[in-house]
Amino acid sequence: MAGNSFGTIFRYTSWGESHGPAIGCVVDGVPPRIPLAEADIQLYLDRRRPGQSRFTTQRREPDQVEILSGVFEGLTTGTPISLLIKNEDARSRDYETIKDSFRPGHADYTYWTKYGIRDYRGGGRASARETAMRVAAGAIARKVLGESVRIRGALVQMGPHKVDRAKWEWSAVDDNPFWCPDRQMAQHWEGFLDGVRKAGNSTGAVIEIVAQGVPPGWGDPVYGKLDADLASAMMGINAVKAVEIGAGFAAAAFSGAENADEMRMRGGEVEFLSNNAGGILGGISTGQDVVLRFAVKPSSSILIPKRSVDRHGKEVEVTTKGRHDPCVGIRAVPVGEAMMAVVLADHLLRHRAQCG
Amino acid sequence: MAGNSFGTIFRYTSWGESHGPAIGCVVDGVPPRIPLAEADIQLYLDRRRPGQSRFTTQRREPDQVEILSGVFEGLTTGTPISLLIKNEDARSRDYETIKDSFRPGHADYTYWTKYGIRDYRGGGRASARETAMRVAAGAIARKVLGESVRIRGALVQMGPHKVDRAKWEWSAVDDNPFWCPDRQMAQHWEGFLDGVRKAGNSTGAVIEIVAQGVPPGWGDPVYGKLDADLASAMMGINAVKAVEIGAGFAAAAFSGAENADEMRMRGGEVEFLSNNAGGILGGISTGQDVVLRFAVKPSSSILIPKRSVDRHGKEVEVTTKGRHDPCVGIRAVPVGEAMMAVVLADHLLRHRAQCG
Amino acid sequence: MAGNSFGTIFRYTSWGESHGPAIGCVVDGVPPRIPLAEADIQLYLDRRRPGQSRFTTQRREPDQVEILSGVFEGLTTGTPISLLIKNEDARSRDYETIKDSFRPGHADYTYWTKYGIRDYRGGGRASARETAMRVAAGAIARKVLGESVRIRGALVQMGPHKVDRAKWEWSAVDDNPFWCPDRQMAQHWEGFLDGVRKAGNSTGAVIEIVAQGVPPGWGDPVYGKLDADLASAMMGINAVKAVEIGAGFAAAAFSGAENADEMRMRGGEVEFLSNNAGGILGGISTGQDVVLRFAVKPSSSILIPKRSVDRHGKEVEVTTKGRHDPCVGIRAVPVGEAMMAVVLADHLLRHRAQCG
Amino acid sequence: MAGNSFGTIFRYTSWGESHGPAIGCVVDGVPPRIPLAEADIQLYLDRRRPGQSRFTTQRREPDQVEILSGVFEGLTTGTPISLLIKNEDARSRDYETIKDSFRPGHADYTYWTKYGIRDYRGGGRASARETAMRVAAGAIARKVLGESVRIRGALVQMGPHKVDRAKWEWSAVDDNPFWCPDRQMAQHWEGFLDGVRKAGNSTGAVIEIVAQGVPPGWGDPVYGKLDADLASAMMGINAVKAVEIGAGFAAAAFSGAENADEMRMRGGEVEFLSNNAGGILGGISTGQDVVLRFAVKPSSSILIPKRSVDRHGKEVEVTTKGRHDPCVGIRAVPVGEAMMAVVLADHLLRHRAQCG
C-alpha cells in the first residue's frame, strides 16, 4: 500500500514529478542524536547528479538539498526528516511533442492505463529524477549504519562489454565517468559509449553493489528476508530488469558440492572459504560481504524512431528528443548503493527491535 | 516487520516448523462470496508434494490441508481463512547428528547468530516445507484472480542444461517429473539427475513463470511496483539467488533500439510487437504476459562431506543424511506459480482500492 | 489493511468463528529465548473462560490452548507462535431461529451489508469468543514485558453503580466474580445482576486497566502515540463504546492550573505530584502508571423481544435465546488487560528499534 | 511503525516542527482524476488558523498551503500529493526561558526521556501546529469521499458548561468563535472564556463530530474496525484524553433493552429507531450518522506558575509566556472533522479493495 514509501522502521516516503516545482522525501524512524547536515546528503547527490560528463544527460540541476525538519542543532531528533530539492532546469517544452503519444519502453502507456491521467512532462513521476530522493535517503541510512558498514558500487558491464574481475581495483571506480573498477575496460567503454551516443542510441548495463562490515544476523525470515528486501529495492529502481545475489544465476549450473560455502575457524571467528551465498543464507546475513548485481535496460529515450500508438488509438512514430543518458546504468550506481544502505539500515533497526 | 506475512490487502501469515506438530497459514483480505473448498487448495499442494518421483525427497507427507475458518457453506466470508497441515512423517532422529553443527549453505549458522536458538530438526522454520503454505495461499489467490488470469511455470534449466525454447510445449510440462516444457530435454535431464543423485550431490535450476491475462494497470509505483513485489516474492523462496523479468540480464547487452517493445493497434486494441519488458513498464502491467525467471541454487543437503564449524566453535565435517531432493528447483515450480498468484491477487485488490 | 492483525513489531493475527472447528492466532515478532509454555497462556485464558459463575454465559469451553510453533525446548525461537483452541461446546442449533434476522445491537446487519454473507452461528467472526485470542496474545506480551511491568484490571462501574474509589483494594478483585475492587459494591452488584439476569435483560459496565512499571519514553508521536494505540486497542474490543486515559472526559471541566501534573525530584528521580495524564504526555509514557477506562455496552443478547428486520426486508421481532452473559463487561476485564499488554509489548520493541 | 504516517490506502505522512522553516505532509493513495486546487485545502486551513478571535493564540500565520506534486492540470494524478506551509511568525525567543525546563502537562519531559534531545522551540514536533497538516489531509479526504458524505463538528462543552442539545442548531456553529451549536451557550462561553484568559488560565472542552451519508459496510473487523480507527485518530490529536462513539460512556449505565437500536423498514430501506451505536456495529458502519465525541484537556501553557524540574534534575517553577489559546478545544473542532474525513476516506478505499 502507499506505493511511495519504502522500508518499515527506517522508512521514507518520496514525492514529486520531474517537471513539478520540486521533489522531496520524508525519512521517518531515524534514531535520535545522529549528527546530520545537508552536506552529508549533498555529497551523495553530487555523485548522482546529471551533467557531469558527456555521458550523462545535459540537464543541469544543481540539486541542492534542503533539510526542512527533524534535525536540531546539527543532530537528528528522532522526528521525521523532510528533504526538498527544487526543480530548476525543467524544459517542459521538450515534451509537448510526446504529450499524447506513448514512448515505447517507457511508462507512458502503463500510467495512462492505470490512472487515466499522466503528467507527461519528462516522465512525470516515472522519471529517473525520483532516484535523487533514493540517494538522499540512502545518505541518511549510511549515517544510521555508521562507519563500520561500507557500501560501494561499480559498473561491471556496459552493453556486451564486461569488466575483467582480475583487474578489479576499487580505487579505479572514482577515476572514470563510469564507476568502472577495471581501468582498461573504462577506456574501452569510452569509445563504445561515444559510438552509442552519436548513433542516437543507448545501451544497457550491469551494476554490482557490495556492503562490507554487515554483522551476521540481519534479516527477517521468511517474508522479510534480507535478500528479498534487497531484490525489491533494486528491482524497483527505474529500468532495472534483473537482480542476483552472490553467485546468482550462475548458481543454477553449480552442483551442491561446488556451491556450499565451507566454514572454518580463524582467530576465534567463523570464516567462510567462499561467498557464493553473497553474504546471505536463509534470508539472514552471514557476516560476509553482501554482494548483488542488477541489470539496467538501455534507455528508451533515443533518437531512432520507433513505432507506437497515441492515447487516441492512432499509430504513430516516436523519437525522444530531450536531453538523455546514453547509458542510464551509470547513474544507477549511486542509486544502487543508496538502496543497499536503506535496506541495511532498516534491517539493523528491525533486528534490534526483535533481538535487542 | 512481522517477517512472516506477505502481501498488503491480500495478505497471508505463515507459521510452523518442519518437524513441529503442524504448519499453517492465515489468509486475510480475501473478497467474500468466492466458492472455496479444501479440494481447490489440495490440487496445488499435490503438485508440490514430495515423494512423487525418485527425483524428490522420499519424505512422505499426505499434506492434507484443513480449512479452519473463513469459509461458510462453501463460500468465503471475507474473514480470515486459516489453513492447517499436520506434519506426519517427521523423522527428527535424522537430525540429531547435525544438532550442534552448521550445515554449509544452509540457514543453520545464520539463525543461530540471529536468534541464539534454533529448532535444528529438518531446518526448522527455514525448511522448504514452509513453501507448502505459499502454495496453499497461492491456490486461494488464483480464486481471487478468477479464470481470466492463467499462471503457469516450467523448469527451463537444470544444472548447465537449458531447454530449447524452439521446442517449448506447455502440454509437455505435466508429462515429466521435472515440469520441463521441452520433451527431449526432459529425457536428458532424467539421466543427468540420476547421476547427480547417485553421486550424493545436487544441482541448481532455473524456473520460468508466466501469467497470461493480466490486464494493464496493475502495480503501484514507485515502491510498490509490480516487478519489485515479484522480485521480493521470488527471491524470498528458499534457495533462490536471482530473479529477472522479461529480457532480464540479457537487456544489459541490448541497445535501446533493440530493447523497446514497439506498439501497434490491432482490432482496436494496443498490441506490443515484442515483450522484452516481461509485461511490466514503470512497475505497472502492460497487458502482455508477465514473464519472469528465477534461479534456485543446488541444495546443500548432500552426502559429500563439507568443512564446517559447530556452535562451540569447533571445526567439523558435515554430511547431510536425511531424505533430500537432488534438485530442489523442481518443487520450486509450483511455489513460483503460487507466489506469482499471490502478488497478482494483491495488486488486483490494490488497484481496485485506489482506482476503482 | 488485513483487518485481523494487531500491532507492528509484536504483531498477532487472529482467526476463527464462534462455531467453526477452532479459533486461533499467530503471534509474530516475539523476541527469542523467552521461556514459554502452554500453562503460561492457559492461566490467563482461565480467567476469561465462560461458565465460571452464574454471571457469565453457561457455554462450557475448556479452552485448552495448544502451541503449534515458535517454541522449542521451552523457549521462544523468534519465529511465529501459532496458538489454537478447539471449539467444543458449539450448539449451532440455538442460532437457526435468527439465521435470517438481524439481532438489534449486534453486528448481524453490518456484516451482511459489508460482505453479503455471514456465518450466523453465534455471531460468527463477530462473537466475543474471538477475545480468547486477545487474551492468549496478551499472555505472551506479558512475557515480553517481563516482571517489571504489572498490568491489572478491575470493573469500576456496573450499570449505574460505580465503585467507591476510597474503598479500592486490589486484593479484592480476585475475591468476587466481577473483578470488583470495592468489596461492598461487589455485594451490591450481586443482587443487581441477579435482577438483570432474571429479567432476561443485560447491563453495561466500565473497566479500568492500570499498568505499573512502564518506563518513560515508550510511544511514537505523532501517529503511533501510546494513547492512540491504546484507544484503538480498547475500542476494538467487542461492545466497547468509549475509552479515556487518565482524567479522561473529566479533564474537559478542569482548568489548566488544575490539570497539569506538577513534577518534583525525589531520591534523584522525577516524581509527578498527580496523574491526570494517565501516564502519557504527547503520546509518550511518563513513567507514571498508565491508567485507562473503557465502557462496555450491555449485551444485545436478551430475552426481551426487540423490533428488527430480516435479510429479505421483512419486519420481525427478535429474542436471543442461546446462553449469554448478563454483563459482558465482566469478561472484558482480562481482555482489556491483555490488550494493554499487547500495546505495551509492541511499544517496548518499537522504542528499542528506534532508540536502542 | 513510522510514527508519522496515518491510514493504510489513503495514507498521509506529516513532518515539521513548530519553529522550523516549514511543516508539510505527503498524501498517498489518492484516487486519480479528482479535481483539486490549493483553495480546496485553504478553505479548511482558514477555519483552523490561529489569530482569528481573541480566544485563540495571537500567533499570526497566513498558513498558505502549496501543492508541490500529485496534481496536474487541476486533477489528482494518483501519485503522492506533497503539501507545504511555511512557518512565518515563529518567535523562538519566547522559548529560550523554558529551554531546559520541562513544562508540566506538556510533552517536554517525555520527548526528552525518549529521544535524549528535543527541539524546545514552541513544542517542536509536539506542537499543535502539526494539526494544520491533519486539516490539510482532511480536506483532500473530503474530496475522496465526495459530496454524499457530510462531516461537521461542534464544541459541546467548555469547561463545566455543556450545550443544551434541545437548542442545537447546526447553522449556529459558524456564527460564533467557538463552533457552538447552542446560541445561548455561545454567549455564556464568551464571558466564561474571557475570565479564564484574563486569569492566565485555560479550560478543557468536549467536541462532537458527526458524519452523515456514510453507507453501511465500511470498517474492517476485527482489528481495523471503523470505531477503533476513529478512536486512534481522535486520541492522537494533541491534548485529547477521551473518545466515545454514540452513547459512549453513558451506555455503561443502560440496560440491553434500552441500548439496542431497533430496526424497521421505511420506504424499502432499513431504518434504525435510535442511534446509541453512533452508526457503528461490530466495527462496521450501519448507514446511520457516525457520531463521536472527544475531550480536550486544558492547555498547560498558562501564566500561573507550576512546579517542575529541568533537564539537569533541578527543581524549578515554570510559567509559559508565548501566545497561547485559553481553550485549545476550539481549534480542535476542524481537526476532529479532518480526522473523521481521513478515517472514512481510508475505509472507503479499503472497503472497495476487498468488497469491490
| pLDDT over 70 (residue A58) | no
CB-based contact D29 B353, cutoff 8 Å: yes
Q: Nearest 5°: phi and psi at D83?
A: -115, 145
Q: What is the pLDDT of residue B63?
A: 86
Q: What is the pLDDT of residue D61?
A: 67
Q: How far apart are CA D45 and CA D28, in angstroms?
A: 19
CB-based contact D352 B356, cutoff 8 Å: yes
Q: Give residue C4's pLDDT band: very low, low, confident or very high (50, 70, 90).
A: very high
Q: Which residues have C-beta within 8 Å of that of residue D345, sequence separation ≥ 6?
A: D7, D10, D140, D141, D142, D144, D145
Q: Nearest 5°: phi and psi at D167?
A: -100, 15
A221 burial (CB, 10 Å; 0-12 / 13-18 / 19+) is buried
CB-based contact B33 C125, cutoff 8 Å: no
Q: What is the mean pLDDT of residues A20-43?
A: 97
- Taking CA–CA distances from D15, the nearest residue in chain A reads A80
- Taking CA–CA distances from A286, the nearest residue in chain B reads B110
D216 contact residues in C (CB cutoff 8 A): 109-110, 113-114
Q: What is the mean pLDDT of residues A174-197?
A: 96
- Taking CA–CA distances from D325, the nearest residue in chain C reads C256
Q: What burial letters (b/e) apply to D121-130, b meaning 16+ CB within 10 Å?
A: bbbbbbbbbb
Crossing angle, helix B329-355 and helix B131-145, to 10 degrees?
Answer: 40
Question: Among all chains, which residue has been given the C-alpha cell 466495527?
Answer: D283
A216 contact residues in B (CB cutoff 8 A): 109-110, 113-114
DSSP string, C223-275: TB-HHHHHHHHHHTSTTEEEEEETTGGGGGGSBHHHHS--EEEETTEEEES--
Q: How far apart are CA B204 and CA A23, in angstroms?
A: 44
Q: How far apart are CA D174 and CA A128, in angstroms?
A: 48
Minimal C-alpha gap between C316 and chain A (Å): 43
Q: Give residue C16's pLDDT band: very low, low, confident or very high (50, 70, 90).
A: very high
Q: Give residue B93's pLDDT band: very low, low, confident or very high (50, 70, 90).
A: low
CB-based contact C28 B3, cutoff 8 Å: yes
| pLDDT over 90 (residue C77) | yes
Q: What is the pLDDT of residue A51?
A: 63
Minimal C-alpha gap between A320 and chain D (Å): 22
CB-based contact B309 A264, cutoff 8 Å: yes
Paired residues of B162 in beta bridges: B157
CB-based contact C353 A355, cutoff 8 Å: no
- Taking CA–CA distances from C268, the nearest residue in chain D reads D313
CB-based contact B241 A221, cutoff 8 Å: no
pLDDT in tens, C138-172: 999 999 999 999 999 999 999 999 999 999 999 99
Q: What is the pLDDT of residue D114?
A: 97
Q: How far apart are CA C147 and CA C140, in angstroms?
A: 12
pLDDT in tens, A261-302: 999 999 999 999 999 999 999 999 999 999 999 999 999 889
**What integer best gives the mean pLDDT of chain B?**
94
A256 contact residues in B (CB cutoff 8 A): 105, 201-203, 298-302, 304
Question: Among all chains, which residue has been given the C-alpha cell 498488503?
Answer: B8
Q: What is the mean pLDDT of residues A202-225?
A: 98
Q: How far apart are CA C207 and CA C187, in angstroms?
A: 18
D4 contact residues in A (CB cutoff 8 A): 26, 28, 79-80
**Strand, coil or helix: what is A189?**
helix
pLDDT in tens, D1-11: 679 999 999 99
Instruction: At A316, list the grid cell.
Output: 504513430
| Kind of pairing between the strands at D81-86 and D22-28 | antiparallel
Instruction: Report whether C238 contacts C125 (CB < 8 A).
Output: no
Amino acid type, D24: G
Instruction: Report whether D265 contacts C313 (CB < 8 A).
Output: yes
CB-based contact B26 C26, cutoff 8 Å: yes
pLDDT in tens, D146-192: 999 999 999 999 999 999 999 999 999 999 999 999 999 999 999 99
Which of A134, A243, A347, A354 has the highest number of chain B CBs within 10 A, making it the mutation to test binding with B? Answer: A243
Q: How far apart are CA C318 and CA A346, in angstroms?
A: 54
Q: How far apart are CA B247 and CA B259, in angstroms?
A: 9
Q: What is the pLDDT of residue D217?
A: 98
Q: What is the pLDDT of residue D37?
A: 98
Amino acid type, C321: K
B13 contact residues in C (CB cutoff 8 A): 5, 13, 26, 28, 80
**What integer best gives the mean pLDDT of chain D?**
94
Question: Taking the mean position of all CA atoms in its chain, how far away is CA A194?
Answer: 24
A355 contact residues in C (CB cutoff 8 A): 31-32, 78
Residues in A lying within 8 Å of D, measured between beta carbons: 1-5, 7-9, 11, 13-17, 20-24, 26, 28-29, 32-33, 66, 68-70, 72, 75, 77-82, 84, 114-119, 124-125
Q: Which of C101, C125, C87 is nearest to C321 (CA)?
A: C101
| pLDDT over 70 (residue C96) | yes
Residues in A lying within 8 Å of C, measured between beta carbons: 1, 9, 29-32, 78-79, 221, 349-350, 352-356
**Strand, coil or helix: what is A306?**
strand
pLDDT in tens, B10-68: 999 999 999 999 999 999 999 999 999 999 999 999 987 766 777 776 666 678 999 99
Q: What is the pLDDT of residue D282?
A: 97
B68 contact residues in C (CB cutoff 8 A): 15-16, 20-22, 24
Q: How far apart are CA A61 and CA B49, in angstroms?
A: 56
CB-based contact D353 B349, cutoff 8 Å: yes
Minimal C-alpha gap between A70 and chain D (Å): 7
Q: What is the pLDDT of residue D264?
A: 97
Q: What does the radius of gyration of chain A's CA atoms come to, in whole angstroms?
A: 21
What is chain B's percent helix, strand, coil content, to nearest 5? Answer: 35, 25, 40
Instruction: At A163, list the grid cell.
Output: 569488466
Instruction: At A112, list the grid cell.
Output: 495512462
| Kind of pairing between the strands at B75-76 and B71-72 | antiparallel
Q: What is the pLDDT of residue B325?
A: 85
CB-based contact C221 A79, cutoff 8 Å: yes
Instruction: Report whether C113 contacts D287 (CB < 8 A).
Output: yes
Q: Give residue C61's pLDDT band: very low, low, confident or very high (50, 70, 90).
A: low
Q: Give residue D95's pLDDT band: very low, low, confident or very high (50, 70, 90).
A: confident
**Strand, coil or helix: what is B202?**
coil
B353 contact residues in D (CB cutoff 8 A): 9, 29, 349-350, 352-353
Among D252, D278, D295, the residue with its CB nearest the CB of C205 is D252
Paired residues of B66 in beta bridges: B84
Q: What is the mean pLDDT of residues A187-213?
A: 96
Q: For chain D, what's the residue count?
A: 356
Q: Give residue B94's pLDDT band: very low, low, confident or very high (50, 70, 90).
A: low
Chains that touch A (3 or more CB pairs under 8 A): B, C, D
Q: What is the pLDDT of residue C49?
A: 76
ipTM over 0.85: yes
Q: What is the mean pLDDT of residues A309-314?
A: 95
C29 contact residues in A (CB cutoff 8 A): 353-354
Q: What is the mean pLDDT of residues B324-332?
A: 92
Q: What is the pLDDT of residue A323?
A: 63
CB-based contact A32 D80, cutoff 8 Å: no
CB-based contact D28 A21, cutoff 8 Å: no
